[in-house]
Structure 1
Amino acid sequence: MPIKILILGSTGTLGKELVDLFNGDKKYSVTTWSHKDIDVTDILLLNQKIKELSPEYILNTVAYNSVDDCEDDEVEYAKAILLNKDVPEAIAKISKELGITFVHYSTDYVFGKNEKIEGGFSEDIIPIPNCKYAVSKYLGEEAVKNFSEKFYIIRLSRLFSKQRGVTGKKSFFEVMLHLSHSQKSLNVVDDEISCFTYAPDLAKATKSLIEDKCNYGIYHLINEGEESWYQGLRLLFKIIAHDTEINPIHGNAILRNAKRPAFSVLKNTKRPVLHPLKEALKDFVSSNDFIDLK
Structure 2
Amino acid sequence: MKVLLTGANGQLGRCFQDIVPNEWQLIAADHDVLDITNTEHVESFVKQYQPDVIVNAAAYTAVDKAESEAVIARKINAQGPYNLAVAANKNNARFYHISTDYVFDGEKTKPYLTTDQTNPLGVYGKTKLQGEQLCLKVNPNVTIIRTAWVFSQYGNNFVKTMLRLAKERSELKIVNDQIGCPTYAGDLAYCIIQLIKQNNIPGIYHYCGDEVMSWFDFAKLIISKAYELNMIPKLPKLSALSSYEYPALVKRPAYSVLDKKISVTIIIYQVNWIIR
Same fold (TM over 0.5): yes
**Conservation of the 8 A alpha-carbon contact between 1:190 and 1:248:** yes
**Does structure 2 conserve the Cα–Cα contact (< 8 Å) formed by 1:223 and 1:280?**
no
Aligned-pair CA distance for 1:19: 1.5
Q: 2:275 matched to 1:277?
A: no
Give yes or no for contact 2:46–2:91 (8 Å, CA) kept in 1.
no
In structure 1, how many angstroms separate the alpha carbons of the residues matched to 2:164 and 2:172? 11
Q: Does the 8 Å contact 1:57/1:101 carry over to 2?
A: yes
- Match of residue 237 from structure 1: 223
Find the aligned partners of 1:237 and 1:193 in 2 and give their Cα distance.
Answer: 18
Per-residue CA deviations over 1:134-180 (Å, capped at 9, x if unaligned) read 000001011111111212111111110112xxxx3x11011111011
Q: 1:67 corresponds to which residue?
A: 63
TM-score, structure 1 normalization: 0.88
Q: Name stretches of at least 5 consecutive residues in structure 1 with no aligned partner.
A: none
Is residue 252 of structure 1 aligned with residue 244 of structure 2? yes
Alignment of 1:1-294 (within 5 A): 3-22=1-20, 25-71=21-67, 73=68, 76-112=69-105, 114-118=106-110, 120-163=111-154, 168=155, 170-240=156-226, 241=228, 243-269=235-261, 272-285=262-275, 290=276
Cα offset, 1:239, TM superposition = 2.7
Provide the C-alpha distance between the structure 1 equivalents of 2:5 and 2:121, rounded to a whole number of angstroms.
30
Q: CA deviation at 1:17?
A: 0.9
**1:192 touches 1:261 (CA, 8 Å); kept in 2?**
yes
1:38 deviation in Å? Answer: 2.5
Which whole-Å CA distance do the structure 2 matches of 1:28 and 1:149 have between them? 24
Q: Distance in 2 between matches of 1:129 and 1:62?
A: 19
SS in 1 for 2:174: strand
Q: What is the alpha-carbon distance in structure 1 between the residues aligned to residue 80 and residue 166 of structure 2?
A: 38
Show CA shifts across 1:120-142 (max 9, x none): 10122121111111000001011
Q: Give the letter for the 2:43 counterpart.
A: N
Question: Letter of the aligned partner of 2:274 in structure 1?
Answer: F
What per-residue deviation string (whole Å, max 9, x for no partner) do you get for residues 29-50 of structure 1? Answer: 0111112212222210111111
Secondary structure of the structure 1 residue equivalent to 2:265:
strand
Kept after mapping to 1: 8 A contact 2:173/2:240 = yes
Q: Which runs of 5+ in 2 are unaligned?
A: 229-233
Percent identical: 28
Matched residue type, 2:178: E
Which stretch has the larger CA shift, 239-248 or 137-146?
Answer: 239-248
1:263 counterpart SS class: coil
Q: Return the offset for 1:87.
A: 0.9
What per-residue deviation string (whole Å, max 9, x for no partner) do you get for residues 67-100 of structure 1? 11222x2xx1011111100111111111111111
In 2: Cα distance, 1:218 partner to 1:280 partner: 26
Secondary structure at the residue paired with 1:31? strand
Alpha-carbon contact 2:166-2:235 (below 8 Å) kept: no
- Partners of 1:211 and 1:102 lie apart in 2 by 13
Report the TM-score when normalising by structure 2.
0.94
Equivalent residue pairs, number: 270
Q: Is the 8 A contact 1:70 1:80 kept in 2?
A: yes
RMSD of Structure 2 on Structure 1 (CA): 1.4
